[in-house]
Amino acid sequence: MATESDQTGGRPVDRLAIQDLVFTYNHALDTGDEELFVSLFVPAATNGPKVGVDAIRDAFRKTAAKYAELHHLSSNLVVDFDGDQATGRSKALIFRSLPGEIADGNAPMYVDYDDVYVHTGQGWKFLSRSFRAADIPPAVVAPPQNRGGK
């Protein structure tokens, strides 16, 4: 049964739990913690085009093998509640490097996330997570050049 707090934005404890879920997703990717990452999803979850925790685990392994370093900076989390489910959107700036590269030599990636969360016996989990990613052009992140000739 939905309570008044569910209909008006969820209880603060639920809002904080979903915030922790979103941030833990990024920490698990950044630290290479496969078990933690997979534990954030319900068994039939989707993460991008991947369906189910086995496919999500495989995608995690491929990402971990591809990058020497990952650093996610998450922000702008907005959550809307509907009983034991919620939807959310957030943004991240991702710094990454391939093996043998210097981490600060790459332009960061910008990501928009759209999520559906479900409350389970183990707390809030991802039911689905979709994302759109784009590299930020190097000219946007490069330091300004000395234009005064001094």
| Domain edges within the chain | 4-138
Task: Give the tens place of pLDDT for each residue, 9-34.
Answer: 689 999 999 999 999 999 999 999 99
In whole angstroms, what is the distance from residue 131 CA to residue 122 CA?
25
Which of the 8 DSSP states describes residue 136? P
Q: Model-level pTM greater than 0.85? A: no
**140: confidence class by pLDDT, cuts 50, 70, 90:** low
In whole angstroms, what is the distance from residue 37 CA to residue 45 CA?
12
Task: Give the tens place of pLDDT for each residue, 48-105.
Answer: 999 999 999 999 999 999 988 899 999 999 999 999 999 999 999 999 888 877 655 5
Which of 65, 77, 64 has its CA nearest to residue 33? 64
Tell me: pLDDT of 124 over 70: yes
CATH class of domain segment(s) 4-138: alpha beta
Which of 7, 1, 145, 4 has its CA nearest to residue 82? 7
pLDDT at 100: 75
In whole angstroms, what is the distance from residue 138 CA to residue 147 CA?
18
pLDDT at 143: 54
